[in-house]
Amino acid sequence: MRFLWLLCPLVLGALEFKVANYNVENLFDASVQGGEYQEYIPNAKHGWNEAMLRIKIANLARVIRDIDADVIALEEVENQAVLERLNAALGDKAYAFVFYPKKKERVSVETALLSRFAIEKTQTFWLPDQARGIHKLSLRVGAYPLTLYVSHWPAYKEKEDERLVYAKTLHNLLEQDKNAEVIVMGDLNSPYQERKGHWGMGLSTFLKAGDKNAPLYNLWYDLPQNARYSHSYGKEKETLDHIIVSKTLFDRQKIEYVPFSMRVFIAPYMLDEKGNPNRWQISDRGRGQHLGIGYSDHFPITAIFHTLKE
């Protein structure tokens, strides 16, 4: 099946909706759970406490409200309770449906989801010797089912073999969903193309996500090459976050991706003085104190989809 790049006439569209992915950078609550990173142990030397949490939630809520997605995956959320607080902070844009997995014991953070569409079924696939799972969610968008796979792969500092475990598992799961309308989202800690040292091999070679000739389409290819980044530090700009779609979202049936609608969401307040993400700040002097400033070290990414009339 090849891609169909022509936009469908608006008269065919029954429902347009936006999907987003956002790594919120260590959203911990202010109580001791036992798996906190050192700098997020509540009421300890780094100054993480209820007051800081309120600022962090307010800042993230500002971004999420401005994105105004209908479905948004969030990485690095500590637990269900802090997710519910973030959702409540959205006010009239709070989401009706919330997902947080049953986390492995003493794992620090996991991937969550907020949705305006009903979440009909969820399933988590745990990987041997890996902290976080791959989460499959079945949504109902209008008259049609939509399958989401959301996950957060091991960081760049880990060997590529760690990410290969996720890529291979996800590939096998997708083989069972060949006829479904599928979106893969998450901080996959990989570039959109394989780089030196085989970084990204899991994504491009094993998951087989790439350009329009690949089995799965990585939406980064919708953007000019110089705009392909969601994370930057200094001069390094990377595509760590991804929205990847199955070819069933280009067959002019049920649910369709709107071509070239992929965006990196960047509001002026989310930028630091160097044009990088205005991340949540912890001082690097003295005791390393939370400063109550900033948002995340990632930019959100978004894409538009629509249903077709039966």
Average pLDDT over residues 60-82: 98
Rounded to an integer, what distance in angstroms lies between the CA atom of residue 234 and that of residue 275? 9
Judged against a pLDDT cut of 90, whether residue 95 lies above it is answered with yes
Which residue pairs, CB below 8 angstroms and at least 24 apart, start in 153-159? 153/186, 153/187, 153/188, 153/189, 153/190, 153/202, 154/130, 154/189, 155/189, 156/189, 156/199, 156/240
Judged against a pLDDT cut of 80, whether residue 242 lies above it is answered with yes
Rounded to an integer, what distance in angstroms lies between the CA atom of residue 307 and that of residue 5? 16
Query: How would residue 285 be classed by pLDDT, with cut points 50, 70 and 90?
Result: low
Average pLDDT over residues 257-263: 98
pLDDT at 3: 38
Residue 217: how many CA atoms within 13 Å on its side-chain side? 26
Query: How would residue 177 be classed by pLDDT, with cut points 50, 70 and 90?
Result: very high
Per-position DSSP letters for 247-298, written without gaps between them? GGGGSSSSEEE-TT--EE---GGGB-TTSSB----B-SSTT--B-S----SB
* Complete edge-to-edge strand list for the sheet that includes strand 182-187: 118-125, 134-141, 144-152, 182-187, 241-245, 216-218, 209-210
Judged against a pLDDT cut of 70, whether residue 4 lies above it is answered with no
Share of the chain above pLDDT 70, in %: 95
Per-residue pLDDT tens digits for 32-48: 988 999 999 999 999 99
Rounded to an integer, what distance in angstroms lies between the CA atom of residue 295 and that of residue 59? 6
Task: Return the sign of the alpha-carbon dihedral for residues 268, 58, 51, 151.
Answer: negative
Average pLDDT over residues 275-285: 90
If one compares 9 and 151, the residue with the highest pLDDT of the two is 151
Query: How would residue 7 be classed by pLDDT, with cut points 50, 70 and 90?
Result: very low
Judged against a pLDDT cut of 70, whether residue 286 lies above it is answered with no
pLDDT at 233: 74
pLDDT at 157: 86
pLDDT at 235: 79
The least confident of 77-86, 189-198, 284-293 is: 284-293
Per-residue pLDDT tens digits for 113-171: 999 999 999 999 999 999 999 999 999 999 999 999 999 999 988 899 999 999 999 99
Share of the chain above pLDDT 90, in %: 89
pLDDT at 309: 83
Domains defined along the chain, listed by start: 15-308 (3.60.10.10)
Please, what is the average pLDDT of the chain? 93
Judged against a pLDDT cut of 90, whether residue 87 lies above it is answered with yes
257 phi, psi to nearest 5 deg = -80, 140
